[in-house]
Amino acid sequence: MKLITGRTIEQGQNLENKLSEEYQKVVAVCELSEDDMKAVGVSEGNNVKVKTQFGEVVVVAKKADGNPQGIAFIPMGPWANAVVGGDTGGVGMPQFKGIDAEIERTSENVPSVRELLKSLGV
Amino acid sequence: MPTVTDVVCPLCGCLCDDIRVEVEGNAVKKVRGACAVGRAKILGHGRLKSPLLREGDELKECSYEEAIKRAAEILAAARRPLLYGWSCTVCETHKVGILLAEVLGGVIDNTASVCHGPTVQAVQGVGLPTCTLGEVKNRADLVIFWGANPVEAHGNHMRRYSYLTKGWFRPEGKKDRKLVVVDVRESRTARMADIFIRVEPNKDYLVLAALRAIVNGFADVVPESVGGVPKERLVELAEMMKTAQFGIIFFGMGLTQSRYKHNNIEQAISLVRDLYAFTKFAIMPMRGHYNVTGFNQVCTWQTGFPFAVDLARGYAWYNPGETAANDVLSRKECDAALIVASDPAAHFPAECVKHLAKIPLVVIDPYPSPTTEIADVVIPSAVCGVEAEGTAYRMDKVPLRLRKLVETEFLTDEEILERLLDEVLKIKGLQ
Protein backbone atom coordinates (compact mmCIF):
# COMPACT_ATOMS: atom_id res chain seq x y z
CA MET A 1 0.00 0.00 0.00
CA LYS A 2 1.00 3.62 -0.52
CA LEU A 3 0.17 5.87 2.41
CA ILE A 4 -0.67 9.55 1.93
CA THR A 5 -1.41 12.06 4.69
CA GLY A 6 -3.20 15.41 4.38
CA ARG A 7 -5.92 17.81 5.39
CA THR A 8 -9.64 17.15 5.85
CA ILE A 9 -12.46 19.54 6.82
CA GLU A 10 -12.98 17.78 10.15
CA GLN A 11 -9.23 17.86 10.89
CA GLY A 12 -9.23 21.60 10.11
CA GLN A 13 -12.21 22.31 12.35
CA ASN A 14 -10.34 20.74 15.26
CA LEU A 15 -6.94 22.18 14.34
CA GLU A 16 -6.65 24.14 17.57
CA ASN A 17 -8.58 21.57 19.59
CA LYS A 18 -6.20 18.62 19.35
CA LEU A 19 -6.48 17.32 22.88
CA SER A 20 -10.21 16.67 22.44
CA GLU A 21 -11.97 13.35 21.84
CA GLU A 22 -13.54 14.87 18.72
CA TYR A 23 -10.09 15.44 17.19
CA GLN A 24 -9.09 11.83 17.83
CA LYS A 25 -12.38 10.62 16.34
CA VAL A 26 -11.82 12.45 13.04
CA VAL A 27 -8.02 12.23 12.72
CA ALA A 28 -7.09 8.78 14.11
CA VAL A 29 -8.57 7.07 11.04
CA CYS A 30 -7.26 5.33 7.96
CA GLU A 31 -9.32 5.70 4.80
CA LEU A 32 -9.26 2.67 2.52
CA SER A 33 -11.10 1.56 -0.59
CA GLU A 34 -13.75 -1.11 -0.19
CA ASP A 35 -11.53 -3.69 -1.92
CA ASP A 36 -8.60 -2.95 0.37
CA MET A 37 -10.86 -3.21 3.43
CA LYS A 38 -11.92 -6.66 2.25
CA ALA A 39 -8.32 -7.65 1.61
CA VAL A 40 -7.28 -6.52 5.11
CA GLY A 41 -10.37 -8.26 6.53
CA VAL A 42 -11.91 -5.26 8.27
CA SER A 43 -15.13 -3.32 8.10
CA GLU A 44 -15.69 0.32 8.97
CA GLY A 45 -14.98 1.00 12.64
CA ASN A 46 -12.52 -1.88 13.13
CA ASN A 47 -9.03 -1.04 14.29
CA VAL A 48 -6.10 -1.43 11.92
CA LYS A 49 -2.36 -1.29 12.51
CA VAL A 50 -0.46 0.78 9.93
CA LYS A 51 3.22 -0.10 9.66
CA THR A 52 5.96 1.67 7.72
CA GLN A 53 9.75 1.49 7.97
CA PHE A 54 9.51 4.45 10.38
CA GLY A 55 7.03 3.06 12.91
CA GLU A 56 3.55 1.73 13.48
CA VAL A 57 0.28 3.12 14.77
CA VAL A 58 -3.24 1.86 15.49
CA VAL A 59 -6.13 3.80 13.93
CA VAL A 60 -9.74 3.14 12.93
CA ALA A 61 -10.56 1.86 9.42
CA LYS A 62 -12.87 4.07 7.36
CA LYS A 63 -14.29 3.42 3.91
CA ALA A 64 -13.39 5.99 1.24
CA ASP A 65 -15.11 5.73 -2.13
CA GLY A 66 -12.57 8.08 -3.72
CA ASN A 67 -9.52 6.01 -2.85
CA PRO A 68 -8.29 3.69 -5.59
CA GLN A 69 -7.08 0.27 -4.53
CA GLY A 70 -3.65 0.42 -2.92
CA ILE A 71 -3.96 3.92 -1.45
CA ALA A 72 -4.42 4.54 2.26
CA PHE A 73 -5.10 8.04 3.62
CA ILE A 74 -4.59 9.22 7.21
CA PRO A 75 -5.44 12.87 8.03
CA MET A 76 -2.37 14.89 9.02
CA GLY A 77 -1.70 14.83 12.76
CA PRO A 78 0.09 12.84 15.46
CA TRP A 79 -1.23 9.43 14.31
CA ALA A 80 -0.09 9.92 10.71
CA ASN A 81 3.25 11.27 11.88
CA ALA A 82 3.92 8.18 13.99
CA VAL A 83 4.66 6.43 10.67
CA VAL A 84 6.36 9.28 8.73
CA GLY A 85 10.18 9.50 8.67
CA GLY A 86 12.21 12.57 9.66
CA ASP A 87 14.64 12.53 6.72
CA THR A 88 14.07 15.56 4.49
CA GLY A 89 15.92 14.39 1.39
CA GLY A 90 18.12 17.48 1.49
CA VAL A 91 15.28 19.99 1.05
CA GLY A 92 13.92 20.41 4.58
CA MET A 93 10.65 18.59 3.81
CA PRO A 94 9.90 15.11 5.19
CA GLN A 95 8.04 12.83 2.78
CA PHE A 96 4.47 13.02 4.11
CA LYS A 97 2.95 11.38 1.03
CA GLY A 98 3.56 8.23 -1.00
CA ILE A 99 5.07 6.13 1.80
CA ASP A 100 5.18 2.31 1.53
CA ALA A 101 2.96 0.87 4.26
CA GLU A 102 1.48 -2.42 5.44
CA ILE A 103 -1.97 -2.54 7.00
CA GLU A 104 -3.39 -5.33 9.14
CA ARG A 105 -6.36 -5.89 11.39
CA THR A 106 -5.65 -5.54 15.10
CA SER A 107 -7.43 -5.83 18.41
CA GLU A 108 -5.11 -3.24 19.97
CA ASN A 109 -6.61 0.11 21.03
CA VAL A 110 -6.12 3.46 19.30
CA PRO A 111 -3.74 5.53 21.43
CA SER A 112 -4.75 9.02 22.58
CA VAL A 113 -2.58 12.05 21.72
CA ARG A 114 -1.12 11.94 25.23
CA GLU A 115 -0.39 8.20 24.94
CA LEU A 116 1.30 8.80 21.59
CA LEU A 117 3.49 11.50 23.14
CA LYS A 118 4.28 9.18 26.04
CA SER A 119 5.35 6.45 23.61
CA LEU A 120 7.96 8.93 22.32
CA GLY A 121 9.47 8.96 25.80
CA VAL A 122 7.98 12.30 26.74
CA MET B 1 -26.57 42.83 17.79
CA PRO B 2 -23.63 44.88 16.40
CA THR B 3 -22.24 43.34 13.24
CA VAL B 4 -18.64 43.85 12.17
CA THR B 5 -18.39 43.64 8.38
CA ASP B 6 -15.45 42.93 6.09
CA VAL B 7 -13.70 40.85 8.74
CA VAL B 8 -10.57 39.07 7.45
CA CYS B 9 -10.61 35.37 8.36
CA PRO B 10 -7.43 34.30 10.20
CA LEU B 11 -7.47 30.65 9.16
CA CYS B 12 -6.08 29.75 5.74
CA GLY B 13 -4.16 31.43 2.93
CA CYS B 14 -7.41 32.58 1.28
CA LEU B 15 -7.72 35.38 3.88
CA CYS B 16 -11.40 35.86 2.92
CA ASP B 17 -12.12 39.49 3.73
CA ASP B 18 -15.92 39.48 3.42
CA ILE B 19 -16.80 37.81 6.73
CA ARG B 20 -19.56 39.28 8.90
CA VAL B 21 -19.27 38.74 12.65
CA GLU B 22 -21.90 39.51 15.26
CA VAL B 23 -20.37 40.64 18.54
CA GLU B 24 -22.24 41.03 21.82
CA GLY B 25 -20.86 41.69 25.29
CA ASN B 26 -17.25 41.41 24.07
CA ALA B 27 -17.89 37.93 22.66
CA VAL B 28 -18.25 36.60 19.13
CA LYS B 29 -21.80 35.26 18.73
CA LYS B 30 -22.27 34.54 15.04
CA VAL B 31 -20.01 34.21 12.03
CA ARG B 32 -21.41 34.53 8.51
CA GLY B 33 -19.71 33.96 5.20
CA ALA B 34 -16.79 31.90 6.52
CA CYS B 35 -16.21 28.24 5.63
CA ALA B 36 -16.71 25.58 8.31
CA VAL B 37 -13.05 25.65 9.32
CA GLY B 38 -12.80 29.47 9.47
CA ARG B 39 -16.06 29.74 11.38
CA ALA B 40 -14.81 27.29 14.04
CA LYS B 41 -11.70 29.43 14.51
CA ILE B 42 -13.45 32.82 14.75
CA LEU B 43 -16.15 31.47 17.10
CA GLY B 44 -13.33 30.33 19.36
CA HIS B 45 -12.82 27.31 21.57
CA GLY B 46 -10.73 25.90 24.45
CA ARG B 47 -7.99 28.37 25.39
CA LEU B 48 -4.90 28.33 27.53
CA LYS B 49 -6.00 30.21 30.63
CA SER B 50 -2.70 31.27 32.12
CA PRO B 51 1.07 31.16 31.55
CA LEU B 52 2.47 27.79 32.68
CA LEU B 53 5.81 26.56 33.99
CA ARG B 54 6.80 22.91 34.15
CA GLU B 55 7.50 21.43 37.57
CA GLY B 56 8.29 17.75 37.16
CA ASP B 57 5.44 16.08 35.29
CA GLU B 58 3.09 19.01 35.70
CA LEU B 59 2.58 22.41 34.17
CA LYS B 60 1.77 24.93 36.91
CA GLU B 61 0.18 28.34 36.52
CA CYS B 62 2.42 31.38 36.86
CA SER B 63 2.50 35.07 35.89
CA TYR B 64 3.48 36.44 32.46
CA GLU B 65 6.61 37.95 34.10
CA GLU B 66 7.77 34.59 35.52
CA ALA B 67 7.09 32.74 32.26
CA ILE B 68 8.86 35.31 30.09
CA LYS B 69 11.86 35.43 32.46
CA ARG B 70 12.20 31.63 32.43
CA ALA B 71 11.80 31.55 28.64
CA ALA B 72 14.55 34.15 28.26
CA GLU B 73 16.88 32.15 30.53
CA ILE B 74 16.30 28.99 28.49
CA LEU B 75 16.89 30.67 25.15
CA ALA B 76 19.87 32.78 26.25
CA ALA B 77 21.60 29.67 27.66
CA ALA B 78 21.12 27.62 24.48
CA ARG B 79 24.01 27.09 22.07
CA ARG B 80 21.78 26.30 19.09
CA PRO B 81 18.18 27.39 19.65
CA LEU B 82 15.46 26.71 17.07
CA LEU B 83 12.74 29.37 16.61
CA TYR B 84 9.91 27.79 14.67
CA GLY B 85 6.28 28.34 13.69
CA TRP B 86 5.16 31.90 12.86
CA SER B 87 2.45 31.11 10.30
CA CYS B 88 -0.61 31.75 12.51
CA THR B 89 0.51 35.16 13.64
CA VAL B 90 0.91 38.58 12.03
CA CYS B 91 3.93 40.15 10.29
CA GLU B 92 4.54 42.50 13.23
CA THR B 93 5.33 39.40 15.34
CA HIS B 94 7.69 38.07 12.65
CA LYS B 95 9.75 41.25 12.76
CA VAL B 96 10.48 40.88 16.48
CA GLY B 97 10.96 37.10 16.20
CA ILE B 98 13.62 37.43 13.51
CA LEU B 99 15.46 40.06 15.57
CA LEU B 100 15.34 37.67 18.55
CA ALA B 101 16.78 34.88 16.38
CA GLU B 102 19.61 37.18 15.34
CA VAL B 103 20.41 38.15 18.94
CA LEU B 104 20.37 34.46 19.96
CA GLY B 105 22.34 33.28 16.92
CA GLY B 106 19.60 30.71 16.36
CA VAL B 107 17.91 28.91 13.48
CA ILE B 108 14.60 30.46 12.44
CA ASP B 109 12.13 28.57 10.28
CA ASN B 110 8.41 28.66 9.60
CA THR B 111 5.82 26.05 8.68
CA ALA B 112 6.62 26.55 4.98
CA SER B 113 9.36 23.97 5.48
CA VAL B 114 6.67 21.25 5.90
CA CYS B 115 4.28 22.87 3.42
CA HIS B 116 5.41 24.95 0.44
CA GLY B 117 9.13 25.08 1.30
CA PRO B 118 9.88 23.04 -1.84
CA THR B 119 7.79 25.59 -3.77
CA VAL B 120 9.93 28.45 -2.48
CA GLN B 121 13.05 26.55 -3.57
CA ALA B 122 11.59 25.85 -7.01
CA VAL B 123 10.66 29.52 -7.44
CA GLN B 124 14.25 30.46 -6.62
CA GLY B 125 15.30 28.12 -9.40
CA VAL B 126 12.88 28.96 -12.22
CA GLY B 127 10.79 31.97 -11.15
CA LEU B 128 7.02 32.13 -10.81
CA PRO B 129 4.67 33.27 -13.58
CA THR B 130 1.76 34.11 -11.30
CA CYS B 131 -1.12 36.55 -10.80
CA THR B 132 -3.53 37.71 -8.13
CA LEU B 133 -6.69 35.85 -7.13
CA GLY B 134 -8.65 38.79 -8.55
CA GLU B 135 -7.25 38.05 -12.01
CA VAL B 136 -8.27 34.41 -11.65
CA LYS B 137 -11.78 35.42 -10.64
CA ASN B 138 -12.22 37.84 -13.53
CA ARG B 139 -10.36 36.02 -16.31
CA ALA B 140 -9.72 32.31 -15.77
CA ASP B 141 -11.63 29.93 -18.07
CA LEU B 142 -9.47 26.90 -17.21
CA VAL B 143 -8.86 26.14 -13.54
CA ILE B 144 -6.60 23.23 -12.62
CA PHE B 145 -6.10 21.95 -9.07
CA TRP B 146 -3.06 19.68 -8.96
CA GLY B 147 -2.44 17.75 -5.74
CA ALA B 148 -4.73 20.17 -3.94
CA ASN B 149 -8.12 19.65 -2.29
CA PRO B 150 -9.62 23.09 -1.60
CA VAL B 151 -13.05 21.68 -0.71
CA GLU B 152 -11.45 20.41 2.50
CA ALA B 153 -8.45 22.68 3.02
CA HIS B 154 -9.47 26.09 1.58
CA GLY B 155 -13.24 26.01 2.01
CA ASN B 156 -14.16 29.28 0.27
CA HIS B 157 -11.47 29.30 -2.43
CA MET B 158 -13.69 28.08 -5.26
CA ARG B 159 -16.66 30.21 -4.18
CA ARG B 160 -14.74 33.48 -3.83
CA TYR B 161 -11.80 33.34 -6.19
CA SER B 162 -11.44 30.50 -8.60
CA TYR B 163 -14.37 28.48 -9.91
CA LEU B 164 -17.94 29.11 -8.73
CA THR B 165 -17.55 32.88 -8.59
CA LYS B 166 -18.69 35.22 -11.37
CA GLY B 167 -16.00 37.51 -12.82
CA TRP B 168 -15.77 40.45 -15.22
CA PHE B 169 -15.02 38.24 -18.24
CA ARG B 170 -16.76 35.17 -16.72
CA PRO B 171 -20.28 36.50 -16.04
CA GLU B 172 -21.77 33.00 -15.84
CA GLY B 173 -19.37 31.83 -13.14
CA LYS B 174 -18.64 28.14 -13.34
CA LYS B 175 -20.49 27.79 -16.66
CA ASP B 176 -17.74 29.95 -18.17
CA ARG B 177 -14.94 27.85 -16.70
CA LYS B 178 -13.60 24.32 -16.99
CA LEU B 179 -12.39 22.58 -13.83
CA VAL B 180 -9.63 19.97 -14.01
CA VAL B 181 -8.38 18.09 -10.95
CA VAL B 182 -5.20 15.99 -10.93
CA ASP B 183 -4.74 13.85 -7.83
CA VAL B 184 -3.85 10.35 -6.64
CA ARG B 185 -7.38 9.79 -5.30
CA GLU B 186 -10.84 11.07 -6.07
CA SER B 187 -11.01 13.82 -3.46
CA ARG B 188 -14.12 15.90 -2.73
CA THR B 189 -12.69 18.52 -5.09
CA ALA B 190 -12.15 15.88 -7.80
CA ARG B 191 -15.85 14.97 -7.64
CA MET B 192 -16.72 18.50 -8.82
CA ALA B 193 -14.32 18.43 -11.77
CA ASP B 194 -15.19 18.36 -15.49
CA ILE B 195 -12.10 16.22 -15.91
CA PHE B 196 -10.42 14.21 -13.16
CA ILE B 197 -7.01 12.74 -13.92
CA ARG B 198 -5.75 10.11 -11.50
CA VAL B 199 -1.98 9.90 -11.18
CA GLU B 200 -0.15 7.08 -9.41
CA PRO B 201 1.54 8.22 -6.16
CA ASN B 202 4.99 9.82 -6.64
CA LYS B 203 4.55 10.01 -10.45
CA ASP B 204 3.48 13.67 -10.83
CA TYR B 205 6.92 14.61 -12.14
CA LEU B 206 6.61 12.15 -15.02
CA VAL B 207 3.12 13.36 -15.92
CA LEU B 208 4.21 17.03 -15.87
CA ALA B 209 7.25 16.22 -18.01
CA ALA B 210 5.04 14.35 -20.51
CA LEU B 211 2.65 17.31 -20.69
CA ARG B 212 5.60 19.61 -21.42
CA ALA B 213 6.74 17.31 -24.22
CA ILE B 214 3.24 17.30 -25.75
CA VAL B 215 2.78 21.09 -25.42
CA ASN B 216 6.16 21.61 -27.11
CA GLY B 217 5.24 19.37 -30.05
CA PHE B 218 7.02 16.16 -29.05
CA ALA B 219 3.98 13.95 -28.38
CA ASP B 220 5.69 11.23 -30.43
CA VAL B 221 8.24 10.54 -27.65
CA VAL B 222 5.56 10.15 -24.97
CA PRO B 223 4.74 6.51 -24.10
CA GLU B 224 1.15 5.19 -24.22
CA SER B 225 0.76 5.54 -20.46
CA VAL B 226 2.60 7.87 -18.07
CA GLY B 227 2.26 7.59 -14.28
CA GLY B 228 -0.96 5.65 -14.76
CA VAL B 229 -2.48 8.26 -17.12
CA PRO B 230 -3.27 7.19 -20.74
CA LYS B 231 -1.46 9.33 -23.32
CA GLU B 232 -4.71 10.41 -25.03
CA ARG B 233 -5.90 12.04 -21.79
CA LEU B 234 -2.65 13.99 -21.57
CA VAL B 235 -2.97 15.07 -25.22
CA GLU B 236 -6.52 16.19 -24.47
CA LEU B 237 -5.39 18.17 -21.38
CA ALA B 238 -2.48 19.76 -23.26
CA GLU B 239 -4.91 20.92 -25.96
CA MET B 240 -7.26 22.36 -23.32
CA MET B 241 -4.36 24.27 -21.82
CA LYS B 242 -3.10 25.65 -25.14
CA THR B 243 -6.55 26.81 -26.25
CA ALA B 244 -7.67 28.35 -22.95
CA GLN B 245 -7.93 32.14 -22.83
CA PHE B 246 -6.55 32.31 -19.32
CA GLY B 247 -5.47 29.19 -17.46
CA ILE B 248 -4.35 28.77 -13.88
CA ILE B 249 -2.73 25.86 -12.04
CA PHE B 250 -3.26 25.85 -8.28
CA PHE B 251 -1.09 23.23 -6.62
CA GLY B 252 -0.80 21.83 -3.12
CA MET B 253 0.92 19.30 -0.92
CA GLY B 254 0.33 16.57 -3.49
CA LEU B 255 3.32 18.03 -5.33
CA THR B 256 5.44 19.40 -2.45
CA GLN B 257 5.23 16.44 -0.05
CA SER B 258 5.55 13.51 -2.44
CA ARG B 259 8.71 12.21 -4.05
CA TYR B 260 10.84 14.70 -6.06
CA LYS B 261 9.33 17.58 -4.03
CA HIS B 262 10.77 20.87 -5.45
CA ASN B 263 11.51 19.16 -8.77
CA ASN B 264 7.77 18.56 -9.21
CA ILE B 265 7.14 22.28 -8.77
CA GLU B 266 9.94 23.24 -11.17
CA GLN B 267 8.29 21.06 -13.80
CA ALA B 268 4.86 22.57 -13.14
CA ILE B 269 6.23 26.14 -13.34
CA SER B 270 8.18 25.27 -16.49
CA LEU B 271 5.01 23.85 -18.05
CA VAL B 272 3.30 27.19 -17.44
CA ARG B 273 6.25 29.02 -19.03
CA ASP B 274 5.99 26.71 -22.05
CA LEU B 275 2.28 27.56 -22.33
CA TYR B 276 3.15 31.23 -22.70
CA ALA B 277 4.01 30.47 -26.33
CA PHE B 278 0.28 29.83 -26.85
CA THR B 279 -1.83 31.72 -24.32
CA LYS B 280 -1.99 33.44 -20.97
CA PHE B 281 -1.34 31.04 -18.09
CA ALA B 282 -0.43 31.39 -14.42
CA ILE B 283 0.43 29.18 -11.45
CA MET B 284 -0.08 29.66 -7.72
CA PRO B 285 0.67 27.61 -4.60
CA MET B 286 -2.30 26.95 -2.29
CA ARG B 287 -0.66 28.37 0.84
CA GLY B 288 -2.05 26.78 4.01
CA HIS B 289 -1.84 28.87 7.20
CA TYR B 290 -3.25 32.38 6.91
CA ASN B 291 0.13 34.10 7.19
CA VAL B 292 2.67 31.49 6.13
CA THR B 293 3.26 33.72 3.09
CA GLY B 294 3.77 36.78 5.31
CA PHE B 295 6.60 35.17 7.24
CA ASN B 296 8.41 34.36 4.00
CA GLN B 297 8.04 38.03 2.98
CA VAL B 298 9.25 39.49 6.29
CA CYS B 299 12.09 36.98 6.61
CA THR B 300 13.26 37.86 3.11
CA TRP B 301 13.26 41.61 3.86
CA GLN B 302 15.17 41.11 7.09
CA THR B 303 17.61 38.28 6.34
CA GLY B 304 17.60 37.97 2.55
CA PHE B 305 16.06 34.48 2.72
CA PRO B 306 12.45 33.28 3.05
CA PHE B 307 12.66 30.44 5.64
CA ALA B 308 15.12 27.97 7.22
CA VAL B 309 17.63 30.70 8.10
CA ASP B 310 20.60 29.90 10.35
CA LEU B 311 21.94 33.01 12.12
CA ALA B 312 24.64 31.23 14.17
CA ARG B 313 27.47 32.62 12.04
CA GLY B 314 26.50 36.22 12.68
CA TYR B 315 25.16 36.47 9.13
CA ALA B 316 22.24 34.72 7.45
CA TRP B 317 22.88 31.22 6.09
CA TYR B 318 20.12 29.51 4.11
CA ASN B 319 20.27 25.86 3.18
CA PRO B 320 17.06 23.84 3.52
CA GLY B 321 18.12 20.25 4.07
CA GLU B 322 20.56 21.57 6.65
CA THR B 323 18.79 24.53 8.27
CA ALA B 324 15.07 23.64 8.22
CA ALA B 325 13.34 22.72 11.49
CA ASN B 326 13.12 19.00 10.75
CA ASP B 327 16.80 18.96 9.75
CA VAL B 328 18.07 20.36 13.06
CA LEU B 329 15.60 18.18 14.99
CA SER B 330 16.25 14.89 13.19
CA ARG B 331 20.02 15.49 13.61
CA LYS B 332 19.33 16.19 17.33
CA GLU B 333 21.28 19.39 16.90
CA CYS B 334 19.20 22.10 18.58
CA ASP B 335 19.39 22.31 22.37
CA ALA B 336 16.33 24.51 23.03
CA ALA B 337 13.33 25.67 21.02
CA LEU B 338 10.85 28.50 20.89
CA ILE B 339 7.62 27.58 19.10
CA VAL B 340 5.29 30.44 18.16
CA ALA B 341 1.78 29.96 16.74
CA SER B 342 2.34 26.42 15.51
CA ASP B 343 2.02 22.80 16.63
CA PRO B 344 5.03 20.76 15.50
CA ALA B 345 4.37 18.01 18.07
CA ALA B 346 1.27 17.15 16.03
CA HIS B 347 2.64 17.81 12.56
CA PHE B 348 6.29 16.73 12.59
CA PRO B 349 7.45 13.13 12.13
CA ALA B 350 7.67 11.22 15.42
CA GLU B 351 11.48 11.08 15.57
CA CYS B 352 11.66 14.89 15.35
CA VAL B 353 8.99 15.30 18.03
CA LYS B 354 11.06 12.97 20.22
CA HIS B 355 13.98 15.38 20.20
CA LEU B 356 11.71 18.40 20.65
CA ALA B 357 10.32 16.76 23.79
CA LYS B 358 13.82 16.19 25.20
CA ILE B 359 15.08 19.77 24.96
CA PRO B 360 13.89 22.83 26.91
CA LEU B 361 10.84 24.08 25.04
CA VAL B 362 9.05 27.45 25.14
CA VAL B 363 5.65 27.77 23.43
CA ILE B 364 3.69 30.94 22.65
CA ASP B 365 0.15 30.11 21.47
CA PRO B 366 -3.49 30.87 22.29
CA TYR B 367 -4.47 27.18 22.49
CA PRO B 368 -3.42 24.01 24.33
CA SER B 369 -1.92 21.51 21.88
CA PRO B 370 0.34 18.45 21.73
CA THR B 371 3.25 20.93 21.64
CA THR B 372 2.16 22.70 24.85
CA GLU B 373 1.85 19.23 26.43
CA ILE B 374 5.60 18.68 26.04
CA ALA B 375 6.61 22.30 26.77
CA ASP B 376 8.55 23.65 29.74
CA VAL B 377 7.19 27.17 29.46
CA VAL B 378 3.79 27.98 27.93
CA ILE B 379 2.83 31.61 27.25
CA PRO B 380 -0.79 32.21 26.15
CA SER B 381 -1.42 34.91 23.57
CA ALA B 382 -4.29 36.83 21.98
CA VAL B 383 -5.84 35.36 18.81
CA CYS B 384 -4.74 37.49 15.85
CA GLY B 385 -7.67 38.58 13.70
CA VAL B 386 -10.13 38.19 16.61
CA GLU B 387 -8.42 39.80 19.61
CA ALA B 388 -5.49 41.53 17.94
CA GLU B 389 -4.89 43.32 14.66
CA GLY B 390 -1.95 43.11 12.30
CA THR B 391 -0.88 42.43 8.73
CA ALA B 392 -1.11 39.08 6.94
CA TYR B 393 -0.31 38.05 3.34
CA ARG B 394 -2.85 36.18 1.22
CA MET B 395 -1.64 33.23 -0.88
CA ASP B 396 -1.19 35.57 -3.87
CA LYS B 397 1.06 37.83 -1.73
CA VAL B 398 -1.58 40.56 -1.31
CA PRO B 399 -1.24 42.03 2.23
CA LEU B 400 -4.45 42.54 4.22
CA ARG B 401 -5.01 44.06 7.64
CA LEU B 402 -6.56 41.70 10.19
CA ARG B 403 -9.09 43.34 12.49
CA LYS B 404 -9.60 43.27 16.23
CA LEU B 405 -13.17 42.23 17.08
CA VAL B 406 -13.13 41.89 20.86
CA GLU B 407 -11.00 43.04 23.80
CA THR B 408 -8.74 40.61 25.63
CA GLU B 409 -6.48 40.47 28.67
CA PHE B 410 -4.01 38.22 26.88
CA LEU B 411 -0.86 39.84 25.56
CA THR B 412 -0.38 39.76 21.80
CA ASP B 413 2.36 37.59 20.27
CA GLU B 414 4.23 40.79 19.40
CA GLU B 415 4.09 42.11 22.99
CA ILE B 416 5.26 38.78 24.41
CA LEU B 417 8.19 38.62 21.97
CA GLU B 418 9.21 42.20 22.66
CA ARG B 419 9.32 41.46 26.40
CA LEU B 420 11.19 38.22 25.73
CA LEU B 421 13.71 40.05 23.55
CA ASP B 422 14.25 42.67 26.30
CA GLU B 423 14.93 39.94 28.87
CA VAL B 424 17.35 38.14 26.53
CA LEU B 425 19.20 41.40 25.82
CA LYS B 426 19.48 42.01 29.57
CA ILE B 427 20.88 38.52 30.21
CA LYS B 428 23.37 38.91 27.38
CA GLY B 429 24.40 42.35 28.68
CA LEU B 430 23.36 44.00 25.44
CA GLN B 431 20.95 46.46 27.03
Give the chain A residue whose CA is nearest to the CA of B185: A67
CATH T-level topology, domain B48-113+290-427: Rossmann fold (3.40.50)
CB contact under 8 Å between A95 and B348, yes or no, is: no
Closest-CA distance of chain A to residue B351, Å: 6
Asked if B347 lies within 8 A of A77 by C-beta distance, the reply is: yes
- 8 Å CB contact of A88 and B262: no
Answer whether B188 sits within 8 Å of A66, measured CB to CB: yes
Nearest Cα of chain B lies from the Cα of A3 at a distance, in angstroms, of: 9
Q: Shortest CB distance from A81 goes to which of B191, B350, B366?
A: B350
User: What residues of A are in contact with residue B203 (Cβ under 8 Å)?
Assistant: none
Whether residue A90 and residue B321 make contact (CB cut-off 8 A), yes or no, is yes
Tell me how many degrees the CA angle B204-B150-B301 measures, rounded to the nearest 5.
80
Residue B316: count of CB within 10 angstroms of its CB: 18
Domains, chain A, in order of start with CATH, read: 2-119 (2.40.40.20)
What is the chain B residue with the closest CA to A3? B201
For chain B, the domains span 48-113+290-427, 117-285
- Whether A54 sits inside 8 A of B349 (CB atoms) is yes
Task: Give the confidence band of A47 by pLDDT, cuts at 50, 70, 90.
Answer: very high
Asked if A117 lies within 8 A of B374 by C-beta distance, the reply is yes
Identify all chain A residues contacting B259, using CB atoms and an 8 Å cutoff: 95, 98
b/e for A70-98, b at 16 or more Cβ within 10 A?
A: ebbbbbbbbbbbbbbbbebeebbbbbbbb
- Between chains, do B348 and A86 touch, taking CB under 8 Å as contact? yes
Q: Is ipTM beyond 0.90?
A: yes
CB-CB neighbors (< 8 A) of B188 in chain A: 66
Using the predicted structure, report yes or no on whether residue A75 has a pLDDT greater than 90.
yes
Which among B121, B151, B354 is the nearest to A120, CB-wise? Answer: B354
Mean pLDDT value of segment A36-49: 96
> What number of C-beta contacts closer than 8 Å exist between A and B?
191
Rounded to a whole number, what is the distance in Å from the CA of A62 to chain B's nearest CA?
15
Residue type for position B270: S
Using 50, 70 and 90 to split pLDDT, how confident is the model at A65? confident
For A77-102, how does the pLDDT look when each residue is reduced to its tens digit (9 = 90+)?
999 999 999 999 888 999 999 999 99
Which residues in chain A are contacts of B207 at CB distance < 8 A? none
Q: Using a CB-CB distance cutoff of 8 angstroms, which residues of chain A are in contact with residue B198? A: 68
Residues of B in contact with A68 (CB under 8 A): 184-186, 198
**A16 pLDDT higher than 90:** no
Decide yes or no: CATH 3.30.565.10 for domain B117-285: no
Mutate to test the interface with B, among A14, A79, A88, A113 (most CBs of B within 10 A): A88
The list of chain B residues with pLDDT below 50 reads none
Contact list in B for residue A98 (CB cut-off 8 A) is 184, 201-202, 258-259
State the pLDDT at residue A12.
87
